[in-house]
Structures are given as C-alpha cells and as structure tokens.
Amino acid sequence: MGLFSGRSGDGEDDDAGESTSPWENRGFVASAIVIGAVVVCVIVFLVLGRTGGDDQPGAGQSPSPGLTEPTDLPSDEPTEPPATPGDDPTSTPVVTPPPVNNAAGGCKAKNPDQRIPRSAPPAVSWQFETDMLIPLQAQGGPASTDANGLRYCFAHSPTGAVLAAMVTLGQIRNPDLTTSVLQHRIAPGAGRTRALNENRSSPSPSHDAGDPSQFTGFKVVDYLPNRAIVALAVQVDYRSVASLPITLVWQGGDWKVVLQPDGSFNGEVAPDILGSLDGYVRFGGS
C-alpha cells in the first residue's frame, strides 16, 4: 500500500516493472512511497506514449522535453541589456539559512500574510535532506528543529502551508526520520495509524544511488484557516514533472499533513503528469 495509491485510469500501471529507485521501495511506506508511485506512473506513461490530464498532449505523444514558462507569472528572462562577459545573469543571491530555532518566525509569527502566493516566496534557503532539497524561510518556517533534525513550526498562512508540505515530504523520505515524521508531522487518524504499522513491519531502507526527484513548483488549490490543499510539482526526471496533491490541517498550532484512511495522501486521486508549469508557481532549489 503506497502513500500515493491513485491509479492511472486504465489499469495499465500493472505492466510497470518494479524499480530500484528509493521512491518506489515498499519499505519507505511514508517516505519513499510518497512519490514512488508517481515514478511508476511516469514510467508507465512514458512507455505507453501517454501523458496524464485532459490538458496534456494526446495519445502517442511524449511529454515535452522542456517546460513552458507560466503565462500568469513574471518572466524569468532578464529585462536589462545582454550581460557583458564576466557577468552571470543566471546566478541567484546567496540566502543565509534561517536559525534552527527562530523565536519570531513560522508558527510564532504574528499576523502572517494570508494572501495566496502568486510568486516564489522570497529569502528562501534550500537545504539538502538526504538527496532532496527542501525550502527554509525565516518568516514562513520551519522555525523549530528537534534534536533528531525533525523540522516543524510553520506560519499559519498559505505560504506556511506550502513550506510545510514540501519540508514534510522531503523529510519523510529520510529513513532516519520517517517514523518521527509520521508520529509528529502527520495528523492523527486511520491513515497515519496504517502508515505507522506498515513502516514498523518494513522499515525504511537506506537510499539507493540515482538521480533524486526535486520540487519545481506549487499551486495552492484551496485555503481555509484550518485546512489547505496544495499541489506540489515534482521533477521526477529531466523530462517529466508530476503533480502531487497534499492536504494539510492546522492542528496543535502547526500545519500537519493528512493521510487518507488507506494510508495514502491522495486516495483515489491519481497524480497528474504535467506538460508544463502553467498555473503553478515555479519554486525549487535546483
């Protein structure tokens, strides 16, 4: 039982071979299986020459090798004249990582911005969690880290929910943190109980070698003060991006990720294979 249990729609996922990628190892339960099933979907769709979603290319076509620029977001193209030799127009400012424990940010922030983010959150530092980059922001969180490295305390805002979803999915892949994430970063319920039981019976293995998946964007699908639904765009290989639906609830003074009763994040909703990032905010560390 994977944390992403949605089907591709026609049952042909059964033909996909078992992968050695850490995303697809059953032992990850809440860590590897979070995006493991997505990788399986990607492989099946590439083999069959299909893409997911009604707005994707038709049957027989493969995903575009490059993602198109979102039309409703500011262009990343420079508006200044061409750079002179020695300039590096693609470089990004170095952001100092926020303190491990921040007394004024994250869930401790007063009156956080309640606007839905339409551009990438500023002043974000991207840090590796095993082989996946996760975002850290002094204002949005995480503002606290326990002795084992578990990050928590996110702002009670749409941006805080986005950061909570990414950090939680990144850390749940770390076999040293999987159990702790399930216990403290997942909302209590039948889904969490099932995931914990499966993780105990098949502990998370060490990561295999290979190109890791990375976050590349997000979209806030719905937001209420006590609940948020965020779609995360994940680059699963150099050609393919999958959209993962994540539900969070505000509980105990922090955002917690929700699992469905079957132990998955999405239940019957299959992850989408994206042809572009139109409608998503570009946001990633690589």
Q: What is the pLDDT of residue 237?
A: 84
Q: What is the mean pLDDT of residues 60-64?
A: 41
Check pLDDT > 90 for residue 184: yes
Q: What is the pLDDT of residue 210?
A: 54
Q: Please give, one letter per residue, the 3-state secondary structure of the chain.
A: CCCCCCCCCCCHHHHCCCCCCCCCCHHHCCCHHHHHHHHHHHHHHHHHCCCCCCCCCCCCCCCCCCCCCCCCCCCCCCCCCCCCCCCCCCCCCCCCCCCCCCCCCHHHCCCCCCCCCCCCCCCEEEEEECCEEEEEECCCECCEECCCCCEECCCCCHHHHHHHHHHHHHHHCCCCCHHHHHHHCECCCHHHHHHHHHHHHCCCCCCCCCCCCEEEEEEEEEEECCEEEEEEEEECCCCCEEEEEEEEEEECCEEEECCCCCCCCCCCCCCEEECCCCCCEECCCC
Range from 18-27, 83-92, 254-263 that averages highest in pLDDT: 254-263
Task: Please provide the average confidence, as pLDDT, over all residues in the chain.
Answer: 75
**pLDDT interval class at 197 (50, 70, 90):** very high
Q: What is the pLDDT of residue 238?
A: 82
pTM of the model: 0.71
Selected residue with higher pLDDT from 5 and 59: 5
> With the C-alpha atoms ordered 9, 202, 171, 90, is the resulting torsion angle positive or negative?
negative
For the chain, the domains span: 12-63+105-282
Q: What is the pLDDT of residue 206?
A: 53
